[in-house]
Amino acid sequence: MTAPEEAHTSTERTLILVKPDGVKRGLSGEILRRIEAKGYTLAAVELRTATSDLLAQHYEEHVGKPFYEPLVEFMLSGPTLAIVAEGDRVIEGFRSLAGTTDPTSAAPGTIRGDLGRQWPTKVLQNLVHGSDSTESASREISIWFPGLS
* Residue 58 falls in the annotated catalytic set: no
Q: Among residues 1 and 133, whose Cβ is nearest to ligand IDP?
A: 133
Calculate ∠ Cα 13-138-4, nearest 5°: 50
Tell me how far CA of residue 14 lies from CA of 87, 93, 96, 111, in angstroms: 9, 10, 13, 16
The reply on whether position 71 binds ligand IDP by CB under 6 A is yes
The reply on whether position 123 binds ligand IDP by CB under 6 A is yes
Rounded distance between C-alpha atoms, residue 84 and residue 24, angstroms: 20
The reply on whether position 67 binds ligand IDP by CB under 6 A is yes
Query: Taken in order 66, 70, 76, 78, is the CA torsion positive or negative?
Result: negative
One residue of 106, 116, 126, 137 binding ligand IDP per CB under 6 A: 126
Question: Shortest approach of ligand IDP to residue 140 CB, angstroms?
Answer: 11
Annotated catalytic sites, by residue? Answer: 129
Question: Which residues are near ligand IDP by CB under 6 A?
Answer: 62, 67, 71, 101, 123-124, 126, 129, 132
